[in-house]
Each structure stands twice: as structure tokens, then as C-alpha cells.
Chain A
Amino acid sequence: MTNHWIDLKNSDCILIMGSNAAENHPISFKYVTQAMENGATLINVDPRFTRTSARADIYTALRSGTDIAFLGGMIKYILDNNLYNHEYTAEYTNAGFIVGKAFGFNDGLFSGYKKNEEGPSMGSYDKSTWAFEMDADGVPKIDRTLKHDRCVFQLMKKHYERYDLETVSRITGTSKQDLLTVYKTYSATGKKGQAGTIMYAMGWTQHTVGTQMIRTMAMIQLMLGNMGVAGGGVNALRGESNVQGSTDHCLLWHIWPGYLKIPQSSNDSLDAYNKAYTPVSKDPLSANWWQNYPRYSVSLLKAFFGEAATRDNQFGYNWLPKVDDGKVYSWFDLFDAMYKGNIKGFFAWGQNPACSGSNASKIREALGKLDWMVNTNIFDNETGSFWKGPGMDPSKIGTEVFMLPAAVSVEKEGSITNSGRWMQWRYQGPRPLGNSMPDGDIIMRLGHKIKELYQSSGEFADPIINLKWDYETHGEFDAHKAAKAINGTFTQDTTIKDKVYKKGALVPSFALLQADGSTASGNWLYCNSYTEKGNMAARRSDKDAPNNIGLYPEFAWCWPVNRRIIYNRASVDLKGQPWDEKDWVIRYQGQVDDGKYVSGKWVGDVPDGGWSPMQNPDGTRRTDTKHPFIMRKHGHGQIFGPGRADGPFPEHYEPLECPVEKNYLSSVMVNPTAVVYSTKADAHATYDPRFPFVGTTYRVSEHWQTGLMTRPQEWLMELQPSMFVEMSEELAKLRGIRNGERVKVASIRGALEATAIVTKRFKPFKIGPDTVHEIGIPWHFGWRWPETGTEETANLLTPPAGDPNTRIPETKAFMVNVTKL
């Protein structure tokens, strides 16, 4: 989330699309409700009428997978009716940037496309054709009047010209009247002083066009001036208590802690690596924050290897693994390699892929090809016990399995980071049950065992022997020691701006991290979280900031540097005064002499950089300032996104499996850069009479993820005891299905049994000449619990296809059949 949970109350219009917040983030509705009590409008767009819809002022349905068409229509509406924030769009976004002559878009394809014969990626773009034009100094050419025919604004206008109401309605199945109502209501937040926010989740990420769905909304938010303001932002409602923290610490193949890039094989030295990933801007007004990259990467290496990391050995850079240039090692690719027998050992740590992975049958089969697996969890699960699951013959499965019992969160101490980036400390209640153990202790002990083995011999033992591994007190994992290492320490007495920092002192903030080895920091983003002033995450003050908008700056801690609303320098006009006087985030209080600021300071939230405002009160431009989007190379919010794999503007494509014969916007059916796998376990079927209905997956309030932490609980099973499928009364009639009876739901990849919930909350869609039915199934179940073994996960049905930017699977839109048992 660019903003945070409490901030929802400051909104004037809340769009819930691609999430079901009332059910899956129930406490968010404390603040949604408060906003509504203060006059905000709640809009909900979802294929199915949910508990969120039940509370919405405006609800309308769209067919799964058509969100870009829906939102592209909103962009057109905003532009046609001149509803955008002109100053914001021209000054803070790249709307005025001139795009090079090589850029083009024709019938669903951007310039530079090349089909890929090999897979799994269907194709790729030569993005050099999407580059901005630069002036002689290497600064992008900008027309802030937005009139140049190759400026981003004009190109955007042209791109979405095609997204008229008629076409959008034909694609989405949403009536023109409903589209207009949503467009009109939401785009009213383009007025100064009005804030609109978006609450989205997996309903947007889990598509072959997922990244671009989010980008479409980000473009709308930028144009309406909703980024950086209270009650605005682009808010991803993250689904797990510490999925934000585990992402920040980068338990992901492509990034190192703090979103540093994984080194590629061609980055053959630390210098080459730093050079490759440190962006350079020639614009003196661009903060280009990532120019500090080497400070963060070297400090990280010092955290990994401590004293052993020296300038002479490139701080241990070559001790860490490199990926091959251009090769992808993501979830899909990992299980594809395992399925092909190329992975021998596997840790499934606090995760249940036998139920959570798309096309789960392939994953279950892949687990049987391992030599060994370590499964750490608090309950036995479908992954650890896969060898005795449905259709498995244990006598034919050679995988050796170690199942390690982990403690529950309340049995240990440490921190987690919520969706609003708040790092919060939690304490130990009871001791771990039985012989279960906190993950931290299991990891530490395993590390010691491995280190012992490598003391005598072993391949390339240096990184293992030199790994700093002292996060214990009295033989037990000490979360405080690890938290301090993550924050960072000075590795020697260091003087910065006349201030002396002693060796071992905690670094106060990432601005002080160094690239010479004098600081160690496990994650620069968390530098400032545990300082000489104490454990910031454990703070509990309910005192609000002077703007009184619910920031609570001394309750817990949030990254970066306790900034509660990021991009907040876009919440003010060029003179540093808030767009919204009532719910302001920051404001510049300056001494003015002769129309010019002569000194001053920002008050309110921690500003996104402390530079002075862009302009003086008399309207003259200042040179000691920076553009507000400081993490972007050019300092501007990106309406044009030339870094994306599938195009600088979002374009509607159909899901890999879809119920229509043609894409009404172009002759390109599916995202031409989507990722699709091709083993015999990876079948897909589109516009196929055997699988005539759209299927989508979701969660319910009473269960969580694969259900492993809710299915063993009888209180929750009482509320939602079994797998179900929701369908319209019309579809039930078509199939002769009665409410409450068990039915079969099948895709080309598998089938499962579920209880039919025949409901008015699903309605058939009118798509062009066709009537399209959609059904929905939760993914919370699995054969291990309940012990009947009859309830299975929706992921037996979901497809082997993903978004080209993230490789997140398309589990929100695929094709199924439903029949009586």
C-alpha cells in the first residue's frame, strides 16, 4: 500500500475492485465505514456480489479478466470530459515526456515485438523502441503543455480512444449505464481537495495481464492527482500477515533484501554489478534515489559476511550465487524444473504448494521426483504428506520427507510488516507446544549443522563458513540481534558530517549507509527501524501527527524512514501547499522574502525528501528542489511505463482460457508476452465447448489461503465446512442443479467435488451475442483436513499461465464445466 489502513477513512471515494475487502481484510471495513459515514461513496466492481458488495453504494459486475477494458474506458472518460488534475498531471507525471519516433502501436501490438518459439514466454519486446527523446544534456524532452503529438499525454489519448462505452460494455458484460455511473463517480476525485482510493488484491495480480491492470489504475490515480494524498494512493491489500516483510527481505529469486537486483552471470564483479543497477540521471532536479545503490549493496554484503567481507574480496560478492542472464527461476519455473526431475532437494517452509500452486496436480507429481524434502509447518499438510494423497502409491514414491514442527506466532518474539508497511513487534505468550520450535531456532540450528559439515571439506565452502551466524543468546534465536543486523551497524568508528559514530553503533537511517564497508545493513529499507533510541517497531503511542489524519507516527514503525504515506511530496502543489487543506499530509512552512522562500521546513508526515518546494510563492521556479517521485530515475510518476514486459500502456487481452471467440479491441487474443508452460501436465483449453463457463477462485472470510491455518480449527470449520461452488440461478437451471447438492467442477486439468450454492449473487453476462456464465470456487480446501479427505483445492483446476512481468498465475479467469454428480 502506498498509504495505510487507517488512511482509508480520509477518502472521498473508495473503489474496491480486484479485492473483496469486507471478507478478506475485514478490519479494513472499520475505515471504509468511517469514510462512508463522513460522506464517501463506496464503489465495488466484482464478477460476483460479495459481502463487500452488500455494503457498497454502487455495485456492478464485470466478466473476470476484463478489468483493463473497464478501466481503459475510465481513462477515456476522464480525458473526454477534462476531469484530470492539470497541474499535477503536467508537473508530476511523465504525461509531457516526448516519446521517440520509433514507438508505435498497431492492432494489439506495440513496436518491437518478437514472437518466441521456445517458451515459456510467448514473445518479447525490444523496449528500445519505447524510449523517451532526450535533449543535448541527456534530460528527457518535456512539453508541459501536453500538446506535442508524441508526448505521453497525446499518445495515451490516442491509445484509449478505442475504449468507447459500446466496446467496453461488449467486452466486460457491464451495462453502459453502470460503466458511466462508476466513471462519473470515481473521476469526480480529480477535483482538488477530493481523494479517491483503490483497494485491490489478487483479483488484479492473478491474470496474464495482472501487472497492467494495476498500471491502468495507477495511471488513473496519477491523472486525478490521487497519489501521495490522504485517502488516495494505490493500495494492494496484501493477504498474509508478513508477506510484505518477506517480500521486503526478498524470499524471491530475482531480488536481494531491499529490492536490490539478483546478480546475473554477466555482472562479473561487484563494480560491474553496481554499475549495471545504479541508474544515472542527468537532470539536476531528479533525486534519482537509486543512485545510492552501491551503499545498499555493499552494506548488505557486510551484513551477510561480517568481518570476512573486505574490499579485497569485493565484500564477498562472488560468494553469492548468480543467475544466468535472461533466465527466470520463478515459482512456475521452479516446479517445471522439479517436474522434469532437475531438482533433487526441496525446502517447503511454512507453505503448502500442493494446494496453493496453480495447476497443483503438476506440483504434487513433481514432489515425487525429489530425493528429499523438508516440510516445516505447524500442521501436517498436503505437501508433507503428498505421498499418501489421492491417487498416490507410497510404495512407488522415493522422496524422503522430513516434517519439522514450527511454533505458532504467539509462542515466539519478533516483528512482522503489515500491508501498510508498518513493522510491528510481537511478544512470546506461551512456550512452543510440545517439541515444536520457532522457525528462527530451526534455521539457526540447521545453519550450524551445515557449517559444521563444511568445516572439514566440501565444494566452495567459503560462503558457508563465512556467513555471519551469531543471532542467538543463550543458545536460542534472538530476534533482537537479527533485527539490529537488519537495521545495520557501523563496522568501524566513522565520522559523517562532523558526527562520530562508534564501531558497533546502530545506523540511525539509510542516508548514512556507506559504500566503503564502514556500515553493514541487512536491508537498507529497514535502516531506522532499530536504532540507538530503541526498537521502533515496538512503539505504542496513540498520539497523532499535527495534521490529525490518523498517521500515528509513534505507533510501530514503517518503511521508509517512518513515512506513512509515500509519494507525499505530490500531495502539495508546486509551492508546497496541500491540494487538500482539510486532510493534508505535509505542507511547507517557509519564511518568505520578496516572494521567495528564504528558509522553511516541511511539517506533517516525513516528507519524501526534505528539499524545498518546486516553486516560490511568487511562481518562480527553484533550483534547490527535486521532482516528487524520487524513486523514479526521472522523478515523475509514470503514465507511460517503458519498463514493463508487455507494453508502456495497458492493453486489453483475453485470459489464456476465455469464453469468447475474439478480442473486440484487436486481433491479438492473449497477452502476446504471457508465460505458458508446455509439459503434458500443462494442458489448456480456450473457447472449448467442453469447458463452457468462466471459473474464478477466491477466499472467504472464515478461511485463509490453503486453509492450513483454518481447516484444523473447528470454530472456523463450523462456519464454512466444505468446498463449494457458487453459480447463478440461470446456470443451475441450465444444468438441473439444486441448491446444496454436491456437483462436479472440472477444467481440462482436473476435477473436484463441491456443494452448489445457487445464488442471485452471480448473474450471467451478455458478451456480444453470447450469454456467458461464470462460477466461483474458494481455494481453501485440501484432502488432509477435514479428515474425510473429500474436499480439494481449486488449484487442481487452475491454469499453467502467468503474467510476463511477475509470472503470477492466472487463477482468476479460466474455463470450467459444472455437472451433476
Chain B
Amino acid sequence: MTKAILIDTTLCTACRACQVACKQWHDLPAEQTTNVGSFQNPQDLSDRTYKLVRMTETVIENRLKWLFFPDQCRHCLDAPCLSMAVDESAIYRDDLTGAILYTRNTRHLDPEEINVSCPYDIPRAGNDGIIAKCDFCNDRIHNGLKPACVTACPTGAMQFGDREDILSMADDRLKRVRKKFPGASLLNPDEVSVIYLVAFDPSVYSDYAVAQAHQGRGGISRSVALRKMIGPLARMMHIG
């Protein structure tokens, strides 16, 4: 039985414990940031920021909303990045937990390719060329601990467990949340191991809250486009 995380954004307070707990457990360095007129920082994921609470102010039905979206790798059941890499020494799946894991050998991959293959815009390369992202705290899971972010979460917005249990918890939560927010939905629950519950249109929270065909960061190469067509992303695009 693989594992899954439910992130119920209706319970998130953006305390950002998850963001720091992730860095703490992984010994990741801080980024030099500046305040650009928002509480959100850093502005984006990176090879040293695997988890980022995206914050959006918006007015919905005449009520001010401050929406929080703790973004991270979804650990896809059928991961496009894995198919894209075709190198098990660089990107592989732990079949016991469902974690999609990146190794140092990702430095031999094309970071652009891997990034654009991701329907959620997650993987990022550092200056050393190593591509990095959330590792599901796979070491913790194997040792009977919850992922660091889930452990830290004060409100229970993040839950971790066996996939089956998390799916049924997600359905229960959705039913409850819909009483308050009729437009609530689960994001790609059948495709991913990190399932989000959002109260409103997912695109308000993040451009890539649900699976999107990726436009690429620096222009998409022809070979990438070709490989995309035969990769599992093609299937996912229809679902997204």
C-alpha cells in the first residue's frame, strides 16, 4: 500500500511551519529574499525550497479571501518526469511508498525537459545542475515517521497515511467542506499521492494547482515537445 498526503487548504493558516520544517529536516539553506509587497516568500520553488505556501488575496462573491496553497511535488502515480528521464539512477519510484525520488544523477538530465514534463511545475535545478524537489520524506516514512511538513502542521490541514485511507478521508472532508463551500473540489485525486482540497476555482490558488500542460520557462525545444507526445503527460493533459 503506497502512502498519500491530503492537503485541505480550508484548514491552512499559512503559518508556514511546513516550509521551515522541510528545510530543517533536509538541512536546506535559506534563500536570500526580498519583500515584494506580499507575505509570500520565497516567490517560487527552487532546488532548496521544496515546499512553498502560495498566498493569494482575492474577492469572491463580495467577500475578501486570503487563500493559502502549500505547494509541493504531487508524487504522481504515473510520473511524467520519471518517464521523461528514462534513467532509474536519476529519477525513480519507491514502489513501497509511492515516492518519486531524485538523485544526484539528475545532474546528467536536461533540467528544462524535466521541469516542463511536470504538469504541476515542480522540479528545479540548482547551479550544480542537480534537480531537486520534495522527496516525500521517504527516509522518515520508512522509519515510521510522518513527513516533516505533515508532522509540523498545527491545524491538521495536512494528513498522511495509507493511500486508501487518505482517499476516503479526502472524500469525507470534501463532503463536509462543501456544506460551507459548495464549489470545493479535490485536485487530480486519482493521479497523485499529494491530494489537495480547495474551496474555490483551483486556478485562483496557483497556475499549476491542477495538472496543466507546461509552457516551459525558457522556451520549449522540439525534442522535448516530441517526447512529451509519447510520454504519460499526454494522457494527463486530458484529465487536467
Contacts and interface: CB of A to CB of B under 8 A. Distances in A.
A760 interface: yes
A26 B15 contact: yes
Contacts of A714: 29-30
A23 interface: yes
A755 interface: yes
B23 interface: yes
Contact of A54 (B14, B36, B38): B14
A632 to B, nearest CB: 36
B156 interface: yes
Interface residues of A, number: 37
B66 A53 contact: yes
Given A55-B11, A719-B16, 11 more contacts: A23-B13, A23-B15, A26-B17, A51-B13, A51-B66, A54-B14, A714-B29, A719-B19, A722-B34, A755-B35, A755-B36
A797 interface: no
Contacts of A720: 35, 39, 41
Contacts of B32: 718, 721
A403 interface: no
Interface stretch (B57-65, B97-105, B143-151, B220-228): B57-65
B129 to A, nearest CB: 23
Contacts of A49: 64, 66
Interface in A212-249: none
Nearest to B180: A57
A73 to B, nearest CB: 23
A701 B65 contact: no
A62 to B, nearest CB: 16
B24 interface: yes
Interface stretch (A27-35, A348-356, A579-587, A767-775): A27-35
Contacts of B79: none
Contacts of B42: 718
Given A717-B30, A719-B20, A54 B66 contact: yes
A758 interface: yes
Contact of B41 (A53, A701, A721, A756): A721
B110 to A, nearest CB: 28
B29 A761 contact: no
Interface in A713-771: 714-722, 724, 738-741, 755-761
Interface in B205-231: none
Closest 10 interchain pairs by CB?
A740-B37, A714-B30, A739-B37, A26-B15, A718-B30, A54-B66, A22-B13, A755-B35, A33-B155, A740-B36
A26 B59 CA distance: 25
A700 interface: yes
Nearest to B67: A54
Contacts of B16: 701-702, 719
B203 interface: no
A711 to B, nearest CB: 12
B68 interface: yes
Interface in A104-145: none
Contact of B38 (A27, A29, A51, A757): A757
Interface in B57-98: 57, 59, 64-68
Interface in A582-597: none
A623 B65 CA distance: 57
Contacts of A715: 20, 23-24, 30
Contacts, number: 98
A310 B59 CA distance: 71
Given A33-B156, A721-B34, A721-B35, A761 B11 contact: no
27 contacts: A22-B15, A23-B15, A26-B154, A27-B154, A29-B15, A29-B154, A30-B156, A33-B11, A51-B68, A53-B66, A54-B65, A55-B11, A701-B15, A702-B16, A715-B20, A715-B30, A718-B32, A718-B42, A721-B33, A721-B35, A739-B36, A739-B37, A739-B38, A757-B38, A757-B39, A759-B57, A761-B64
Given A29-B13, A33-B156, A53-B66, A719 B41 contact: yes
B128 interface: no
A786 to B, nearest CB: 10
A701 B55 CA distance: 14
Contacts of A758: 37
Nearest to B48: A718
Q: Among A26, A714, A756, which residue has the most Cβ atoms of chain B within 10 A?
A: A26
Contacts of B155: 29-30, 33
A739 B59 CA distance: 18
Nearest to A22: B13
A17 to B, nearest CB: 17
Given A718-B30, A720-B41, A54 B156 contact: no
Interface of A: 22-23, 26-27, 29-30, 33, 49, 51-55, 700-702, 714-722, 724, 738-741, 755-761
A16 to B, nearest CB: 12
Nearest to B42: A718
B34 A54 contact: no
* Main secondary structure on A side of the interface with B: mixed
Contacts of B24: 715
Contacts of B35: 720-722, 724, 740, 755, 757
A756 B36 CA distance: 8
Contacts of B57: 759-761
B11 A54 contact: no
Nearest to B53: A719
Contacts of B34: 721-722, 755
A542 B75 CA distance: 35
A177 to B, nearest CB: 13
Most central of A53, A718, A761 by chain B CB within 10 Å: A718
Interface in B1-46: 11, 13-17, 19-20, 23-24, 29-39, 41-42
A49 B17 CA distance: 21
Contacts of B31: 718
A720 B38 CA distance: 9
A51 B14 contact: yes
Contacts of A739: 36-38
Contacts of B37: 738-741, 755-758
Nearest to B30: A714
Most chain A beta-carbon neighbours within 10 Å: one of B15, B17, B24, B42: B15
Contacts of A29: 13, 15, 154-155
Nearest to A33: B155
B37 to A, nearest CB: 3
Nearest to B10: A55
Nearest to A713: B30
Contacts of B39: 700, 720, 757
Contacts of B59: 760
Nearest to A738: B37
A220 B34 CA distance: 44
Contacts of B14: 51, 54, 701
Nearest to A24: B15
Nearest to A716: B20
A808 to B, nearest CB: 27
Contacts of B154: 26-27, 29-30
A720 B35 CA distance: 7
Nearest to B153: A30
Contacts of B64: 49, 760-761
A26 B153 CA distance: 10
A755 B33 CA distance: 13
A202 to B, nearest CB: 19
B39 to A, nearest CB: 7
Contacts of A33: 11, 155-156
Contacts of B19: 719
A284 to B, nearest CB: 49
Nearest to B19: A719
A701 B14 CA distance: 9
A738 B57 CA distance: 16
Nearest to B36: A740
B27 to A, nearest CB: 11
Contacts of A26: 13, 15, 17, 154
Nearest to B11: A33
